C-alpha cells in the first residue's frame, strides 16, 4: 500500500511518529494509502526550518514573489487533469467538480500576483514640521493553515497564496482524509521557484494541530473546518497570543418567494443541495418556500429532478451528478440524522436510504433525500448534516422566512429567489449572514472580494482571500521620521498637535 509523506525543506519526507491514518477511495471503500500523522517534535522541526527559510523570502522583493505566483498559475493549469483525478480519487467528487475545486484556488493565486500593489504602504509628506510619516506592511514570519477535507485544493491555495505572496513561510496541515493534492501543490510551488523550506506540508491529526497552536514561532493560524473544532482552535490559538481566523460550519437557507421563477428555483436548489453530495460549506441545506402554494409548487418540481439525479463514481465521467461521501462514518452520521428527521415528524418525500450501486456496494454512497414539513426544533434543521439531504421549512410570510435565517446559529451563506427588487434589497440589508445570493444559490465571492460567514460560521475579524487575506498575513508598522536638517523644536514634554 502507498505510504504518503510530509513535504519538508523541499522534499517528500517520511513520517517518524509511527502513527498513520488510512486514506480511502470513497467510491470503492478501499484503503488506498496511509498518511503519516506528525508528532509534536516533527511539527516543531518543520517550523524551525521554515523560520530560517523565511528570512530571505521575506526580504525578497514583492514583485519576485508575485512572479512565483504567476508561474504557479501556469503549472496549476498544466496539471489540472492530474490534480483533479487525484482529488476525486480521495474525496469522491466528480471530475468536473474537482477541476472547479482547483480552479477556485487558482483564482486566488491569480489575485496574489497583485501582491506588490496590495502590500504598498501609505505615506504622508510633511505630517508635521520636517516630519514624514509612513506605514508599511511586513510579513508575520511563520503562519500556519489547518484545512478541511471538502476542498483539498481550493482551501489550501486560499491560505498558502496570500501568506506566501506577503513574504511569510507557511505550514500547511491539510485534512488527513485527502492529503495527496496538498502534497502535489507543494511540488508545484517548488517548481514555480518557491525556495525550499518556505512551504512545509505537515500531515497529521489533533497532535499536529495542538503542536501548531502551542508553537511560539507560529504567529498566525488560519483554520477551515467544523464549528466545534473552529471554536477550540480559536480559543487555544488566541490564548497563546496568536492571530487566529477560523471558518466553521453552515446551514444555508434559500428563501423562495411566491413570485420567484419556480423552475429556476428548483434547478438551483437541486444543484446547490446535492452537488458534491452536499459536502460544501455553501451548499443549500434548507429550502424556505413562502406560502403553502409556493411550497407545493416547489416540491412538485423538485421530486422529479431529484429522482433523476445520477449518483456514481468519478470514473463514470460526465454521467454523474455527485459521488460518494468521504468516509463510512460520514455516511452513517447522515443516515442517523435522516432517521431522526422521520422520528421527529418530518415528511421524507424522497428517500435515498436504500441506495446501492451495482459493483460499488462497499462505496460510501448516499442517495438523495428531500424532507418537507421540517420545523426549527428538529435535529435535521439545527445540525449541519453535510450530505445530500435538503430540508423544506414552510414559512407563512417573508418576515417568518427571514426570521428563520436570522435565528439559526450558523450564518455562512443564504439566498433569496424573487422577482421583487424591494424584497431582495431588504433581505440583503437585514439578514445577519455573511454571503448573500439574489437568485444565485451558492454566492461564493470571487478571489478579489472576501469570503466569510457570520455568527457560528466564523471566528476572528478578517475574511479569507481578497484584500482581507493580505491584512491577516501582514502587520502594519508606522514610522514617523525627521532628519537633522528638519526644524528643531527643543525638548517636548507634552503631547500636542503637529503644527
Residue 238 among the catalytic residues:
no
Instruction: State the residue number with the nearest CB to ligand NAD.
Output: 225
CA 417 to CA 430: how far, in whole Å? 16
The residue written with cell numbers 467510491 in the block is 27
Cβ proximity to ligand NAD: between 62 and 453 the closer is: 453
Q: Scanning residues 163 to 192, which ones bind ligand NAD (CB under 6 A)?
A: 173, 175-176
* Contact residue for ligand NAD among 281, 287, 380, 393 (CB under 6 A): 281
Cα–Cα distances (Å) from 287 to 279, 432, 455, in that order, read 17, 17, 20
Cβ proximity to ligand NAD: between 227 and 294 the closer is: 227
Q: Does 206 bind ligand NAD (CB under 6 A)?
A: yes
Give CA angle at 325 (179, 455), nearest 5°: 85
Q: Does 26 bind ligand NAD (CB under 6 A)?
A: no
CA 418 to CA 438: how far, in whole Å? 8
Q: Does 249 bind ligand NAD (CB under 6 A)?
A: yes
Q: Does 36 bind ligand NAD (CB under 6 A)?
A: no
Q: At its nearest, how many Å lie between ligand NAD and the CB of residue 208? A: 8
Q: What is the DSSP string of 180-226?
A: HHHHHHHHHHHHTTPPTTSEEE---SHHHHHHHHH-TTEEEEEEES-
C-alpha cell at 125: 509628506
The residue written with cell numbers 523541499 in the block is 10
Letters for 119-158 (x = contact with ligand NAD by CB under 6 A, - = none) are ---------------------------xxxxxx-------
Letters for 448-467 (x = contact with ligand NAD by CB under 6 A, - = none) are -----x---x----------
Q: Does 224 bind ligand NAD (CB under 6 A)?
A: yes
CA 207 to CA 213: how far, in whole Å? 10
Query: Which residue pairs from 40-44 have beta carbons closer than 8 angstroms and sit at least 24 positions apart in sequence?
Result: 40/207, 40/208, 40/210, 40/211, 40/214, 42/6, 42/15, 42/16, 42/17, 42/202, 42/208, 43/171, 43/202, 43/204, 43/208, 43/211, 43/212, 43/215, 44/211, 44/215
Q: Does 103 bind ligand NAD (CB under 6 A)?
A: no
Q: Does 418 bind ligand NAD (CB under 6 A)?
A: no
Q: Does 276 bind ligand NAD (CB under 6 A)?
A: no
Q: Does 205 bind ligand NAD (CB under 6 A)?
A: yes
Letters for 397-416 (x = contact with ligand NAD by CB under 6 A, - = none) are ---------------x----
The residue written with cell numbers 525550499 in the block is 196
Binding residues vs ligand NAD (CB under 6 A): 146-151, 173, 175-176, 205-206, 209, 224-226, 229, 247-250, 281, 384, 386, 412, 453, 457
- Positions annotated as catalytic residues are 281
Amino acid at each position: 500500500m502507498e505510504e504518503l509523506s510530509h513535504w519538508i525543506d523541499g522534499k517528500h519526507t517520511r513520517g517518524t511518529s509511527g502513527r498513520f491514518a488510512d486514506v480511502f477511495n470513497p467510491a470503492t471503500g478501499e484503503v488506498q494509502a496511509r498518511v503519516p500523522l506528525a508528532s509534536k517534535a516533527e511539527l516543531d522541526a518543520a517550523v524551525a526550518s521554515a523560520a530560517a527559510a523565511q528570512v530571505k523570502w521575506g526580504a525578497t522583493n514583492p514583485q519576485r514573489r508575485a512572479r512565483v505566483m504567476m508561474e504557479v498559475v501556469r503549472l496549476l493549469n498544466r496539471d489540472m487533469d492530474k490534480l483533479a483525478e487525484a482529488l476525486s480519487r480521495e474525496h469522491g467528487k466528480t471530475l468536473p467538480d474537482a477541476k472547479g475545486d482547483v480552479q477556485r484556488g487558482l483564482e486566488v493565486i491569480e489575485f496574489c500576483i497583485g501582491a506588490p500593489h496590495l502590500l504598498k504602504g501609505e505615506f504622508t509628506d510633511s505630517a508635521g514640521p520636517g516630519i514624514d510619516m509612513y506605514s508599511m506592511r511586513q510579513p508575520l514570519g511563520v503562519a500556519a493553515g489547518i484545512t478541511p477535507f471538502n476542498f483539498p485544493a481550493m482551501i489550501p491555495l486560499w491560505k498558502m497564496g496570500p501568506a506566501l505572496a506577503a513574504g511569510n513561510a507557511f505550514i500547511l496541515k491539510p485534512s488527513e482524509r485527502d492529503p495527496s493534492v496538498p502534497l502535489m501543490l507543494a511540488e508545484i510551488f517548488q517548481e514555480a521557484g518557491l525556495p525550499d523550506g518556505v512551504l512545509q506540508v505537515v500531515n497529521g491529526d489533533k497532535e499536529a494541530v495542538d503542536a501548531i497552536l502551542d508553537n511560539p514561532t507560529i504567529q498566525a493560524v488560519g483554520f477551515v473546518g467544523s464549528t466545534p473544532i473552529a471554536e477550540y482552535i480559536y480559543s487555544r490559538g488566541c490564548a497563546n497570543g496568536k492571530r487566529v481566523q477560523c471558518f466553521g460550519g453552515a446551514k444555508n437557507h434559500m428563501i423562495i418567494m411566491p413570485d420567484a421563477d419556480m423552475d429556476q428555483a428548483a434547478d438551483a436548489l437541486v444543484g446547490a443541495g446535492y452537488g458534491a453530495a452536499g459536502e460544501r460549506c455553501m451548499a443549500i441545506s434548507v429550502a424556505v418556500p413562502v406560502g403553502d402554494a409556493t411550497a407545493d409548487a416547489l416540491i412538485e418540481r423538485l421530486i422529479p429532478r431529484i429522482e433523476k439525479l445520477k449518483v456514481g463514481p468519478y470514473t463514470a465521467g460526465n454521467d454523474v451528478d455527485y459521488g460518494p461521501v468521504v468516509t463510512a462514518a460520514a455516511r452513517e452520521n447522515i443516515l442517523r440524522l435522516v432517521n431522526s428527521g422521520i422520528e421527529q415528524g418530518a415528511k421524507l418525500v424522497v428517500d435515498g436510504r436504500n441506495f446501492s450501486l451495482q459493483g460499488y456496494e462497499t462505496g460510501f454512497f448516499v442517495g438523495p433525500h428531500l424532507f418537507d414539513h421540517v420545523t426549527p426544533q428538529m435535529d435535521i434543521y439545527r445540525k449541519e448534516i453535510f450530505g445530500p439531504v435538503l430540508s423544506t421549512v414552510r414559512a407563512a410570510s417573508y418576515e417568518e422566512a427571514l426570521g428563520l435565517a436570522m435565528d439559526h446559529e450558523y450564518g455562512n451563506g443564504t439566498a433569496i429567489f424573487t422577482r421583487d427588487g424591494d424584497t431582495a434589497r431588504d433581505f440583503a440589508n437585514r439578514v445577519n449572514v455573511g454571503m448573500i445570493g439574489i437568485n444565485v444559490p451558492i454566492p461564493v465571492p470571487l478571489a478579489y472580494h472576501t469570503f466569510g460567514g457570520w455568527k457560528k460560521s466564523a471566528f476572528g475579524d478578517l475574511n479569507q482571500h481578497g484584500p482581507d487575506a493580505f491584512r491577516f498575513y501582514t502587520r502594519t508598522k508606522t514610522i514617523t521620521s525627521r532628519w537633522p536638517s528638519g526644524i528643531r523644536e527643543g525638548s517636548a514634554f507634552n503631547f500636542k498637535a503637529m503644527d
